[in-house]
């Protein structure tokens, strides 16, 4: 597969209400993930961390770019097994709290018809958006009760945004039963910028506000920081996590230095002199 130059930015915050950040994220080009845990401390945070650990292993080990969906499905199956084992161990110790679970949105580069493309997968109500030509479009479809009501024509999308059961998830990684992700294949020119986020972003700011941020922030690191800041300014009722990925163009094999970008990000955040 031809190398693709990617720039990315990430940001996360516990928010203004929650005590624990149950979100996890991964930016290990060409693999990107956001997972929003459910089940409270020592539940949701562990489940989302498992997703990131397993996809980090996929990024390290590599995958056949012609079999991306199989790679994602196998990785999600390992996540589900580990989450189930963790839940069983917790119950054996006498834990009685909510069962651990997590949403997951994944983006990785694959090859299709001789061209590099984005393969996207989602479980739950974390989202993937594409931003191109100044327009923002949600690619993933929420696995939620309100989305089912919208699809059935029972409520409008505007009603869904304020529905009292808008956080009820109909599909997620919980380990209790196999969960099948939805997959989407995008040509790179159709997605100049990808946004993966937890509902602490999409549930706090509108698509119009998100598009405005993405339109004025050329650097994906700035875009990520500003999206989280906007979610906090809107009330920060949930953990807020976002990964922003820009496709800069097709490049030579050695043109993208992920390690150098990590150093650049650490300098930006003041972690390095």
For the chain, domain boundaries = 4-268
Q: What is the DSSP letter of 110?
A: E
Percent of the chain with pLDDT over 70: 81
Do 38 and 169 meet the contact criterion of CB atoms below 8 Å apart? yes
pTM for this prediction: 0.87
Phi-psi region of 249 (alpha: psi -120 to 50; beta: other; left: phi over 0): left
Per-residue model confidence (pLDDT) at position 147: 66
Per-residue model confidence (pLDDT) at position 265: 38
Do 149 and 164 meet the contact criterion of CB atoms below 8 Å apart? no
Reported as a single tens digit per residue, the pLDDT across 106-136 is: 999 999 999 999 999 999 999 999 999 999 9
Polymer length in residues for the chain: 273
**Pairing outcome for strands 135-138 and 127-132:** antiparallel
Reported as a single tens digit per residue, the pLDDT across 201-260 is: 999 999 999 999 999 999 999 999 999 999 999 999 999 999 999 998 754 333 334 344
Do 127 and 105 meet the contact criterion of CB atoms below 8 Å apart? yes
Per-residue model confidence (pLDDT) at position 207: 95
Domain 4-268, CATH class in plain words:
alpha beta
């Amino acid at each position: 597969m031809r190398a693709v130059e990617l720039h990315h930015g990430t940001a996360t915050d516990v928010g203004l209400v929650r005590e624990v950040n149950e979100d996890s994220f991964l930016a290990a080009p060409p693999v990107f993930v956001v997972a929003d845990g459910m089940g409270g401390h020592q539940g949701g945070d562990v489940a989302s961390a498992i997703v990131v650990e397993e996809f980090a292993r996929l990024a390290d080990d590599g995958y056949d770019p012609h079999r991306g969906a199989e790679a994602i499905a196998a990785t999600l199956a390992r996540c589900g097994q580990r989450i189930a084992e963790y839940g069983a161990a917790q119950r054996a110790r006498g834990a009685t709290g909510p069962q651990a679970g997590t949403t997951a949105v994944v983006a990785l580069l694959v090859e299709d018809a001789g061209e590099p493309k984005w393969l996207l997968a989602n479980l739950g109500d974390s989202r993937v958006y594409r931003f191109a030509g100044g327009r923002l479009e949600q690619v993933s479809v929420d696995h939620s009760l309100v989305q089912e009501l919208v699809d059935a024509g029972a409520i409008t999308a505007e009603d869904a945004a304020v529905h009292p059961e808008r956080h009820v998830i109909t599909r997620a990684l919980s380990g209790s039963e196999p969960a099948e992700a939805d997959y989407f294949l995008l040509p790179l020119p159709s997605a100049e910028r990808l946004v993966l986020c937890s509902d602490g972003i999409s549930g706090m700011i509108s698509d119009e506000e998100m598009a405005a941020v993405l339109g004025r922030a050329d650097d994906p690191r700035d875009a990520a920081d500003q999206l989280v800041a906007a979610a906090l300014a809107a009330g920060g009722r949930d953990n807020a996590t976002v990964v922003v990925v820009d496709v800069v163009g097709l490049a030579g094999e050695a043109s993208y230095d992920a390690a150098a970008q990590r150093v650049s990000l650490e300098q930006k955040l003041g972690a390095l002199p």
